[in-house]
Structure 1
């Protein structure tokens, strides 16, 4: 993507973009789209703690990670079902959300209300059967907090940002809990503030993109100003870099030829700087699209992962 494309007016992009279409495939296609498969990319965070601990190459650990990845996909889908059923009227007023399966009438509201809780209970039961009670507790807290967010705290200033960001933090924690791996305090802080950066950046982008109309489709934005959200995402990205640095320098180097963990700070920092370009331009409303479609971010991400893995395994 060229610099001119990144710096293009968000409103102009919104005006020229082809409007979304209702999901194809009838009811089944609508149910699949409602589960947001594209959002499942966030669940790769469950591999973070085992990777950082250098135990991702153990089959028992990898198996637990694969289990919890699938479980979190089910849990997240249950939340999307319930959230979209609850927000169906406001979604119908949104220029893009009105094409969501429930808002467009492809999936009946009552069916979503039934399937959402069923999937939520299934994810907790599977956590107990396939992993352990600690994992089930985290999955249950994840579901409970996001349900509370949808029903009660979506419009509570600051608390709404914290509750959405907690979803990323729970993902980062649960892989370690499922595999009985101790979690570093710096790892948790990096995951927490990195999550806040993503969430605040998304809200900021929505305000830049839609202007005064933003509060009509997401009422919580009426409680914030653009300058405040800019302060939050800038503060959180700075803390993320700081805590990652402390974490990288805290990991034993062993007999590695180079300090790969410390060197990984370079691509890690540039990934955040590159993503911040989209946030500042107001085009980071869909973080997963930004991350997956920007070749520079993908390349830097692979460079970071390679360096980190080399450091973890003392190459």
Structure 2
């Protein structure tokens, strides 16, 4: 009986730590590969190895950031219908233990990035860690500033990927990324505000209330429109389209797919059914996955 209880306790502890570091969110670090794909550069075995090391380093950095965020937000999370089950909020892991783990992950991330890739990438990962800590400690409380920083953290991944593969993102890709990730960050806030039980309630730990809902909706519409316009502008005016694509007509289909996907997320956010993170929602949402499949098929046909 004692062995069974010990095994159950260990399994519960491992589950809590697994939940704390959020490995499912590491999928976001696939953004490191995007610059080399859209630069149409040759990919060598050495480059692939550096990308793998970079992804591991960024995954550790991201998990360190999630832990710091959960420590900082524990009081608010205990009052939230979904977040109260997070390990620190639920008192399954002590904050001091979690902070020690975050420091260890951050140190491992910096070591991997600097020693396994380059000193420049090490500095960029360090900047990412500082930005995530500043966001959790201070900037997430300010309406507008928080979504701008979230967008910047996504775009920063692209820049790190460009540094690793020596394929800096083009101005078109940067513009597309800023608009797309601003739209997704605003969708995240719409979903959270839509989940608030009463109109007078403030989004816990942040400055948003139902008063901001119309502004969030308008902002999402603006950046979603700008995302699609950026794709169309690239297809109409960039010389790279003719240079790199065998049948670029298919690329117009990707603009339609992106538009449909953002509208789908927008509608789900209004209903408050995304669950907090649009990227993670999309990774398990059948409609989003079907649209990604269609967009990928169109891109493959174009190449």
Structures share a fold, TM > 0.5? yes
Partner residue, 1:35: 21
Mapped to 1, the partners of 2:200 and 2:163 lie a distance apart of 42
Tell me the TM-score normalised to structure 1 length.
Answer: 0.84
Task: Give ranges in structure 1 of 5+ residues lacking alignment.
Answer: 1-22
Displacement of 1:66: 1.8
Judged with a 3 Å threshold, the aligned counterparts in structure 2 of structure 1 residues 177 and 217 are, in CA distance, closer, same or farther, namely: same
Tell me the TM-score normalised to structure 2 length.
Answer: 0.87
Mapped to 2, the partners of 1:50 and 1:94 lie a distance apart of 40
Partner residue, 2:297: 306
Choose which of 220, 224, 239 in structure 2 pairs with 1:237: 224
Partner residue, 2:69: 83
Displacement of 1:224: 5.8
Matched, 1:279 2:269: yes
Matched, 1:129 2:144: no
Q: Which moved more, 1:258-267 or 1:122-131?
A: 258-267
Matched, 1:58 2:48: no
Displacement of 1:269: 2.5
Displacement of 1:137: 2.5
Say whether the 8 Å CA contact 1:241–1:269 is kept in structure 2. Answer: yes
Displacement of 1:219: 2.7
Q: Deviations over 1:189-225 (max 9, x none)?
A: 1111111111111111111121436525233214961
Tell me how large the CA RMSD over aligned residues is.
Answer: 2.3
Judged with a 3 Å threshold, the aligned counterparts in structure 2 of structure 1 residues 86 and 307 are, in CA distance, closer, same or farther, namely: same
Q: Deviations over 1:88-134 (max 9, x none)?
A: 11111112211111111111110111111221122122111111233
Partner residue, 2:5: none
Matched, 1:253 2:239: no
Task: Give ranges in structure 2 of 5+ residues lacking alignment.
Answer: 1-8
Mapped to 1, the partners of 2:42 and 2:77 lie a distance apart of 41
Partner residue, 2:3: none
Partner residue, 1:265: 255
Q: Which moved more, 1:195-204 or 1:224-233?
A: 224-233
